[in-house]
Amino acid sequence: VVLRLICLVIGYAFGMIQTAYFYGKMKGIDIRKHGSGNAGTTNTLRVLGPKAGFTVLFGDMLKCAIAVWLVGWIFGSMYPEHLYLLKIYTAFGAILGHDFPFYMNFKGGKGIAATCGFVIAFHWSFIPMFLIVFLVLFNITHYVSLGSLAIYVGFIALLVIEGQLGLFGFADMATPDKIEMYIVAIVMTVLAFYRHRSNIVKLIKGEERKTYIFKKNKV
């Protein structure tokens, strides 16, 4: 339990470095008062343009990846059989830090860029699935939220497939932790859907904001 808590705290400490918020402040705005009001990559892209959006994407991915790599580096040799479980707890902590940073009155982002950083540091097998699912949906619909939620469904599916079939080799190393890994991943997915609840309502009503990378966006 203590080890899990340490991973959550390390994750939170990195996750709360809210790139969108600080980038916005540098440009003299509180990003949460513009566009969708979300302190994340998509809203920064819409409000401040592609350079700002990609900087925030990179920053949020990097902070989560660093937290996960750090935990792997500190605990990997001590607890090799629990490595992947500890990485998932760290990512969960980082997403909590990103979504609920205490110094922003707990009003942060939705955790998608941080999740992308996590899977890069977690295991390579998620990267093609994330890229394909997101890019296909985004290209067709231009709804970032739809692509974001779909990659979470893909994340759970791939984790369970790997856990049961052992296609990529990481679940074998975490045999004692499989069920707990699924549970943490499901909690992360529920959190992502909860953070996107207003997007889901808008998607159903057909009122969700479309996002374009190189065209000016409506904010």
Answer yes or no: are the C-beta atoms of 104 and 21 closer than 8 Å: yes
Supply the DSSP string of 68-113, one letter for each residue: HHHHHHHHTTT-GGGHHHHHHHHHHHHHHHHHS-GGGTT----SHH
For 212, the 3-state DSSP assignment is coil
Q: Which is nearer to ligand G3P, 95 or 159 (CB)?
A: 95
| Binding flag, residue 151, ligand G3P (CB under 6 A) | no
| Binding flag, residue 148, ligand G3P (CB under 6 A) | yes
| Binding flag, residue 44, ligand G3P (CB under 6 A) | no
Answer yes or no: are the C-beta atoms of 127 and 120 closer than 8 Å: yes
Q: Which is nearer to ligand G3P, 91 or 181 (CB)?
A: 91
Number of residues that bind ligand G3P (CB under 6 A): 13
Q: Which is nearer to ligand G3P, 43 or 90 (CB)?
A: 43
Quote the least distance from Cβ 196 to ligand G3P, whole Å.
Answer: 6
Q: Which is nearer to ligand G3P, 34 or 123 (CB)?
A: 34
| Binding flag, residue 43, ligand G3P (CB under 6 A) | yes
Question: Among 145, 170, 178, 181, which residue interacts with ligand G3P (rule: CB under 6 A)?
Answer: 145
Amino acid 32 reads: R
Question: Among 110, 115, 163, 184, which residue interacts with ligand G3P (rule: CB under 6 A)?
Answer: 110
Q: Which is nearer to ligand G3P, 7 or 144 (CB)?
A: 144
Closest CA to 99 of 114, 116, 121: 114
CA distance 17 to 19: 6
